[in-house]
């Protein structure tokens, strides 16, 4: 049931603190070490690997982009990410030294399942991250990571996405610990930080009026842009998909450094530009990109980590996100973008939970 919420999507947005905690805490032993019972991959198997491929569709693909970043940074294994419908027809470089990680909330997406089978045929080992116990993807995989987000009913994925991010952070930590690429102190600090994310998500949810006010601006727009760099670019892609999917507002995500290579021509007086600024070493660059679009008339909305210097001088509106270490910021920065999509859709009087032309799970090609 909707549990008193007006729509499943809103309920599921509010389920996120619990989904994050469940996915992590039920797998911590008394020493606060991550125990992954359905992952059979041993140290020898990890040492044999020369590459990880992450394959998925839509929102799950965006989770994979964050997963690449976490695994490469913490476990130092090279990772490629591809869209399942591209991967399956691309004769990919996959062999018995490849680990394929498939990500699928439903576990029934046709292209993801076909990609899994193609990689298996080429000898790869398959690890599945899925939310549905006993789903097709779960049955075909060698190793399994269940996100414990609970059933997701709304077509737009929210809590499954944040739970997938938790899954990737945990896998990255588990691999890193097994391979010895991080110290015990770092390991413990990350586990603590992930555990604290639920409370920080709650803090963001309590700012929903500020976010609804920004949605009123988007309702009037004919197109909008999300900008980001590094992990914030990944969040920008996920945010743009969500806004398009349920509010039908034409939205594009751009790597902020690409603006000058074409996109900036689209900025007109009043065009909403949503800049995601959570990565410390990239913040200054983002601020100069925000100045560039503002000089062309853009209405600049910043979704920024609290305490980001100088942001107040360039943004017309700021949505602040609590600070955690940069690598974990995608879990927090995506929350306001989910609410923005939700409010833009409801303010337009649209069917949030069942947007036109879409199905919850795409079981045909
Ligand atoms: O069930 P899956 O995770 O395999 O679904 C993948 C996509 O179809 C899904 O994430 C889709 O992009 C969402 N509707 C986005 O909100």
How many whole angstroms from 188 Cα to the centroid of ligand 1?
Answer: 32
Strand-by-strand arrangement of the 299-305 sheet: 250-255, 223-228, 272-277, 299-305, 317-321
Taken in order 280, 281, 287, 290, the sign of the CA dihedral is negative
Task: Measure the CA–CA gap between 320 and 99, rounded to whole angstroms.
Answer: 38
Kindly indicate the confidence band of residue 1, based on its pLDDT and cuts at 50, 70 and 90: confident
Q: Is the dihedral of CA 231, 164, 361, 120 positive or negative?
A: positive
Q: Summarize pLDDT for 310-333 with one digit per residue, the tens.
A: 999 999 999 999 999 999 999 999
**Is the CB of 155 within 6 Å of ligand 1?**
yes
Query: Atom of ligand 1 at shortest distance to CA of 156?
Result: 16
Query: 19-44, pLDDT tens digit by residue?
Result: 999 999 999 999 999 999 999 999 99
pLDDT score, position 80: 98
- How much is the average pLDDT of 186-202? 97
- Tell whether ligand 1 has an atom less than 6 A from the beta carbon of residue 135: no
Reading the block at residue 251, the tokens are 């939205």
pLDDT at site 330: 98
- pLDDT over 90 (residue 253): yes
Say if residues 107 and 129 touch (Cβ distance below 8 Å): no
CA-CA-CA-CA dihedral for 154, 56, 327, 51, to nearest 10:
160
CA of 160 to the centre of ligand 1 (A): 9
Answer whether residue 53 shows pLDDT above 90: yes
Which atom of ligand 1 is found nearest the CA of 158?
A: 16
189-214 mean pLDDT: 97
Average pLDDT over residues 43-59: 96
Phi, psi dihedrals of residue 309, rounded to the nearest 5°? -65, 145
The closest alpha carbon to 56, from 21, 82, 24, 18, belongs to 82
- The H-or-E segment that residue 342 falls in is helix 329-347
**Tokens at residue 218, please?**
């988007």
Residue 364 pLDDT more than 90? no
Ligand 1 close to Cβ of residue 289 (< 6 A): no
**DSSP E strands, 203-327:** 223-228, 250-255, 272-277, 299-305, 317-321
CB of 128 shorter than 6 A to ligand 1: no
Of 51, 37, 154, 45, residue with least CA distance to 101: 51
The count of C-alpha atoms lying within 13 angstroms of the C-alpha of 291, restricted to the half-sphere facing its C-beta, is 10
Residues of the chain with pLDDT > 70: what percent?
100
Least confident of 62-66, 175-179, 351-355, 359-363: 359-363
Dihedral over alpha carbons 265, 63, 150, 342 (to 10 degrees) = -10
pLDDT tens figures, 170-180? 999 999 999 99
In angstroms, what is the span from residue 268 Cα to ligand 1's centroid? Answer: 32
Is residue 336 very low, low, confident or very high in pLDDT (cuts 50, 70, 90)? very high
Q: How high is the pLDDT of residue 365?
A: 86
Mean pLDDT of the chain: 96
State pLDDT tens for residues 202-229: 999 999 999 999 999 999 999 999 999 9
DSSP-based three-state secondary structure for 83? strand
| pTM for the full predicted model | 0.97
Residue from 57, 102, 151 whose mutation best tests the ligand 1 pocket (most atoms within 8 A of CB): 57
Q: Can you tell me the distance from the alpha carbon of 25 to that of 191, in angstroms, rounded to the nearest whole number? A: 9
Residues with catalytic roles: 360
Asked if residue 104 has its Cβ within 6 Å of ligand 1, the reply is: yes
Report DSSP letters for 6-38, one per residue. SSHHHHHHHTHHHHHHHHHHTTB-TT--B--TT
Q: Is the pLDDT of residue 361 over 90?
A: no
Pocket lining: 64 vs ligand 1, CB cutoff 6 Å: no
CA of 145 relative to ligand 1 center, distance in Å: 17
User: Quick one: pLDDT at residue 296?
Assistant: 96
- How far CA 357 is from CA of 60, 112, 122, 239, 246, in Å, comes to 19, 20, 35, 19, 11
Task: Give the 3-state secondary structure of 114-168.
Answer: HHHHHHHHCCCEEEEEECCCCCHHHHHCCEEEECCCCCCCCCCCCHHHHHHHHHH
Instruction: Give Cα separations from 358 to 132, 244, 312, 338 (angstroms).
Output: 20, 12, 39, 18
Q: Give the C-alpha separation, 359 to 280, whole Å.
A: 38
How far is ligand 1, taken at its centre, from the CA of residue 134, in Å? Answer: 18
């Amino acid at each position: 049931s909707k549990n008193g919420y007006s729509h499943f999507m809103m309920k599921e947005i509010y389920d996120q603190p619990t989904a994050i905690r469940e996915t992590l805490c039920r797998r911590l032993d008394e020493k606060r070490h991550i125990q992954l019972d359905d992952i059979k991959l041993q140290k020898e198997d990890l040492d044999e690997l020369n590459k990880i491929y992450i394959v998925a569709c839509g929102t799950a693909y965006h989770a994979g982009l964050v997963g690449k970043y976490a695994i490469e940074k913490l476990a130092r294994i090279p990772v490629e990410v591809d869209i399942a419908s591209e991967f399956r027809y691309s004769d990919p470089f996959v062999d018995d030294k490849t680990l394929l990680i498939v990500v699928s909330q439903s576990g029934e997406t046709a292209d993801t399942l076909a990609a899994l089978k193609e990689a298996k045929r080429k000898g790869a080992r398959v690890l599945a991250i899925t939310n549905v116990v006993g789903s097709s993807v779960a049955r075909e995989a060698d190793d399994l990571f269940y996100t414990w987000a609970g059933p997701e009913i709304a077509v737009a994925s929210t809590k499954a996405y944040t739970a997938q991010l938790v899954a990737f952070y945990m896998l990255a930590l588990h691999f890193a610990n097994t391979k010895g690429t991080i110290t015990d102190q770092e390991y413990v600090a990350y586990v603590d930080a992930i555990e604290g994310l639920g409370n920080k998500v709650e803090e963001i949810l309590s700012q929903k009026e500020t976010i609804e006010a920004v949605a009123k601006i988007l309702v009037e727009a004919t197109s909008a842009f999300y900008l980001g760099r590094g992990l914030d670019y990944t969040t920008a892609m996920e945010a743009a998909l969500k806004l398009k999917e349920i509010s039908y507002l034409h939205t594009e995500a751009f790597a902020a450094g690409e603006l000058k290579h074409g996109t900036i021509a689209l900025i007109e007086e009043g065009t909403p530009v949503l800049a995601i600024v959570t990565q410390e070493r990239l913040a200054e660059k983002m601020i100069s990109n925000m100045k560039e679009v503002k000089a062309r008339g853009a209405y600049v909305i910043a979704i920024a980590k609290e305490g980001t210097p100088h942001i107040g001088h360039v943004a017309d509106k700021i949505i602040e996100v609590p600070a955690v270490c940069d690598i974990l910021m995608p879990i927090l920065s995506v929350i306001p973008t989910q609410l923005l999509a939700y409010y833009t859709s409801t303010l337009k009087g649209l069917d949030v939970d069942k947007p036109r032309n879409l199905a919850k799970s795409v079981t045909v090609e």
